[in-house]
Structure 1
Amino acid sequence: MSDFFSAPKSVPNSVQSSVPTAISAQKAAPRRALLKARQKMPQRILQEKSARICGHLQSWSGFAQSRLTLAYCSFRGEPDLSALLQQQRSWGLPRCEGKALIWHRWYPTCDWPLRPGTYGITEPDLASPLVEPYRVELILIPCLACDVNGFRLGYGGGFYDRMLKQPEWANKITIGIVFEYARLPQVPREAWDIPLSGICTESGLFWVNRAPAE
């Protein structure tokens, strides 16, 4: 399956930057195939794999030490992080506003309920406090796929791409959350794409270069 989804072996950066629409077109077919594969996964298997992903994250000391972690509410068969979100700790959850992600503070016993928002994704309440980026130490990012170099394939909206290019989010530890079948040798990427720090699947937590200092 990984070979089917792999991108061409070499795409020069000059070509990527000058013809971004060509790279975007390369992403369309794997997006459709990956979504289809994920949606076919039985719910029992999805929950088993999700539990293992949560277990790998909890076993990493950096997760326990993170004072504020950005996460997400699963949607369309994404790995389910509910087991982590139930922990009584500080989380940041996203709300879609136009083409931006607005991050709000949340924890299980807070007074701000989660509710269906844009695209049907569960989102934090508008009244909940905003996240201060300087407090964030870890970002868990949903992906359709990640490659071994840390480049991610998303849904095409560019929400996380735009966010990670902003200076206030620089130098944060970023972990792509995917099922193992979607950890690929290579995905199509633009010259300006920013690699993630690591990838977590049901098979383990994999760092792109080296594990962050604890």
Structure 2
Amino acid sequence: MPKTDIRRRMLAQRAAFPLSAIKDASRRIQRTFITCDLFIQARSIALYAPIRNEVETGEVLAAALKMGKTVLFPSVAPEGLLFRTVETVHHLCPGAYGISEPTAERGIVDPEAADIIVVPGVAFDRSGRRIGYGKGYFDRALHRLEGSGRLVGFCFDFQLVDEIAGEPHDVQMDMIITERQIVVLPRKSDL
């Protein structure tokens, strides 16, 4: 099935997903992530601000800040995504496309410095491929980090499909967490 068809179908399903189900599934996904060794051992983590019924990240943010981790969020700039530090939810404000992002005075950090980068998606497959909204921001920003064991996709279980026709510019996840399962992909160094 072409990416555009998968994107359209998944966005429609997500839009119809009841708010109570979003909250419940998001809570389960976040709690699974917060208790995994990858999160516990990380010193720094990049998150996203959810839009359009994406998996929420507020519990992860609170846990990371409570544990003293450095937290980054992306902001859209003419040259692509910039990752900036956040020490409180009050450092986020509406930015490009209406997505909450760090204020301009927050420090910029290379995403390569993050131990974990949590990535949203419209759909993921069991090989780690991802479909976003089609703008390519995360693909361009994170391509050099794929296979490093740091890229974690959050999605609802219905967004995990068997196969997505990938393209060379698509960034692949190292782990995908849904409310029902965890998919862990081998690192490039393990192959």
Decide: shared fold, TM above 0.5.
Answer: yes
Pairing 1:45-124 to 2, within 5 Å after superposition: 45-87=21-63, 88=65, 89-98=69-78, 100-108=80-88, 113-124=91-102
Question: In the alignment, is the contact (CA less than 8 A) between 1:117 and 1:123 conserved in 2?
Answer: yes
Q: Higher Cα Rg: structure 1 or 2?
A: 1
Look up the SS of the partner of 2:84 in the other structure.
strand
In structure 2, the residue matched to 1:136 is 114
User: What code does the residue aligned with 2:87 have?
Assistant: Y
Match of 1:196 among 167, 173, 186: 173
Letter in 1 for 2:33: L
Following the alignment from structure 2 to structure 1, what is the Cα–Cα distance between the partners of residues 143 and 112? Answer: 15
**Which stretch of structure 1 is more off in the superposition, 95-104 or 30-39?**
95-104
Selected match of 1:179 from 133, 144, 156: 156
Verify the 8 A CA contact 1:69 1:90 in the aligned structure 2. yes
Gaps of 5+ in 2: none
Q: What letter corresponds to residue 138 of structure 2 in structure 1?
A: Y
How many residues matched? 184
8 Å contact from structure 1 (residues 200, 206) kept in 2: yes
Distance 1:193 1:122 in 2: 24
CA RMSD of aligned residues (A): 2.0
Contact 2:143 2:169 survives alignment (8 Å): no
Q: Structure 1: 5+ residue runs without aligned partners?
A: 1-6, 8-25
AA in 2 matched with 1:127: E
TM-score, structure 1 normalization = 0.80
Query: For the residues of structure 1 that align with 2:110 and 2:169, how far apart are their CA atoms?
Result: 25
